[in-house]
Amino acid sequence: MKAMKVWIDEGCIICRACEEICPDVFEVDDENCYVIEENIDGNEDLIKEAAEACPVEVIIIDNEEDDDLDNGDEDDEDEEEDEEDEDDK
């Protein structure tokens, strides 16, 4: 299962677009924009919409996967190395 992480990178211009689209997750005051992390779950589609609407593209979304799924990539690399070794023979 993927867990979404969301944060605001430097450069936010406080336009409030994200808050208008997804007020449960984004809170904006006169100086900063905040992510209400406990409200991310269930609001993923609106978060993506807010990120796409951000005029300065500072809403960062990271979908983390379980560590078990990452192990598959290493096996693919090993297979590629084995194939290269066979080609050298």
Q: What is the enclosing helix (H) or strand (E) of 71?
A: helix 67-88
pLDDT tens per residue, range 29-57? 999 999 999 999 999 999 999 999 999 99
Strand 26-28 vs strand 3-8: parallel, antiparallel, or unpaired?
unpaired
Task: Output 78 or 57, whichever has higher pLDDT.
Answer: 57
Phi-psi region for residue 32, left (φ > 0), alpha (ψ -120 to 50) or beta?
A: beta
Decide: pTM greater than 0.75. Answer: no
